[in-house]
Amino acid sequence: MTKTKIIEEKDEKIRILLTDTDRSFVNAIRRTLMAETPKMAIDKVRFEMGTIEQDGEVWETNGPLPDEMIAQRLAMIPIPTVHDEFYFQDECPECAELVAKDRGCPLCTMIYTCKEFGTDGGRPITAGDMSYLGEARLNIPEKYRSIVITKLSKGQMIEFYATAIMGRGNEHAKWSPVCGTTFTPRKVGVMNNKTKAKILWKLGLSIKAKDFDGEGRLEDLDKVDQLVDDLNHVGPGTEESRDFKDAIILEEVPGEFILSFETDGSMTPRVAFERAIAELSGRFGEIKEDIAAVF
């Protein structure tokens, strides 16, 4: 059974060590993270058009950007995704039986509104100017409130209602919660020649001879990452490479891989990973049932 261990975890980034597995399974997780992990994203925008008079000033909805471009920007804003509170519209207990155009309730839909005005010098309208029609905790997180939607000058205004629904990355990139999703085999450093290895030590870089154990192996994950960088100074194309050769090499560990990715802020990396595993497990379960039905 595959085992997992979190090596590094930040607000938007995570590195996970997977053991007792193979390349195809880790790649399946990678693809599921990108294409199958459910995420909320703005799917429809209703722009209010017209002219209003306020405080003796006339304001028109004639901003510098086309509505289509603004809608694209809105689609890529990270919407807080709470999987336990919202459903896919076609699975919603209130809307599933309705035709697609009539679906949309508090259980499967999030609505954000925005009504803002420009200034003399030009005012950026950002994601922070959007308000969620519901609990304040589902407003755009503080970290992403500075994302610019458009910029308005005096006399210009914008007013819209944006509807977010649950979707998957295989339908559109706006529903993909991750980026930079990669995996590599876990590697360890192996010292083959202590004498020639001194060429690296004399450069005064990160890794020293004392970091290797008595058998000449370096297994600490963080230090192996540093070793990878250090070996670039004695690798192909350097003067030292002629003498250094394979004094220290990187050796792959069978059945162990390091998966790393970042999220767009709609959910934490841990949640994204857990949801991806749940999605993948469910799909394998469906395949198992289909095979059992056939045979």
pLDDT per residue as tens digits for the range 138-156: 999 999 999 999 999 999 9
pLDDT for 95: 92
Domains of the chain are 3-36+179-262 (3.30.1360.10), 39-172 (2.170.120.12)
Measured in residues, the chain has a length of 295
Task: List the strands of the sheet with 217-218, edge to edge.
Answer: 3-9, 13-19, 248-263, 178-191, 217-218
Beta bridge partners of 252: 187
% of residues, the chain, pLDDT over 70: 96
Pair 94, 127: CB distance under 8 Å: no
Cα 198 to Cα 196: distance, rounded to the nearest angstrom: 5
Which is it for the CA torsion 48, 50, 53, 58, positive or negative?
Answer: positive
pLDDT per residue as tens digits for the range 227-280: 999 999 999 999 999 999 899 999 999 999 999 999 999 999 999 999 999 999
